[in-house]
Structure 1
Amino acid sequence: MSENAKPESELPKISKPANQALDLSGYYKLEQFTKVTEAELLKLHGMGPKGIRMLKEALQERGLSFAKKPQETK
């Protein structure tokens, strides 16, 4: 693999805009989504409720889930 080659994605095919948003943000593995909330992903241009639902289903199949809402810090 060349140093500029991107890793192969294991994410479900959602929509072209959603997959492109995830790709540009560096998401390639389902395990990465355990560190991010649904709300954070919805901020990505091209990501919508359907994409979140499909990712959630893929995560659940592996016994994983999105990160919980971050706790507020004072």
Structure 2
Amino acid sequence: MINLVIMAKCLSSICAVNHVVRDDDFLSGIIAVPARRALEREKIDSLEKLSGYSEEEIMNLHGFGKNAMERLKNHMEERQVSFKN
């Protein structure tokens, strides 16, 4: 019984350490996490940087699909930002 309590305490501290809450809100709530991670891998963290890419280049990123692209385009259009041609 004591071993279980000790193990539970150790596991809870591991979970607390490994669960990192990040403060990057770029496109949070706009596109799904896989699509945001795809942009993150390319170091795209602003609409300004995103506007330097073509729609095709973004669609070729692993984790990006038609739904994410449609939502992203709507978001960009509302902010008068567009992909490069």
Does the alignment reach a TM-score above 0.5? yes
Aligned to 1:18: 35
In the alignment, is residue 43 of structure 1 matched against residue 60 of structure 2?
yes
Q: Secondary structure at the match of 1:65?
A: coil
- Cα distance in 1 between the residues matched to 2:23 and 2:49: 13
Give the letter aligned to residue 48 of structure 1. G
Aligned to 1:72: none
Question: Which of 1 and 2 has higher RCO (CA within 8 Å, sep 6+)?
Answer: 1
Give the number of aligned pairs.
63
Q: Which runs of 5+ in 1 are unaligned?
A: 1-5, 69-74
Give the letter aligned to residue 11 of structure 1. L
Q: Which runs of 5+ in 2 are unaligned?
A: 1-21
Q: Against the structure 1 CA distance between its residues 17 and 65, is the aligned structure 2 distance closer, same or farther, given a 3 Å change threshold?
A: same
- Cα distance in 1 between the residues matched to 2:26 and 2:36: 11
Structure number with higher helix proportion: 2
Give the letter aligned to residue 38 of structure 1. E
Give the letter aligned to residue 53 of structure 1. E
Q: Determine which structure has more spread, i.e. the larger CA radius of gyration.
A: 2
- Cα distance in 2 between the residues matched to 1:23 and 1:7: 13
Superposition CA RMSD, Å: 1.9
Give the letter aligned to residue 8 of structure 1. D
In the alignment, is residue 63 of structure 1 matched against residue 80 of structure 2?
yes
The percentage of counterpart residues that share the same residue type is 32
Runs of 4+ residues over 4 Å off in structure 1: none
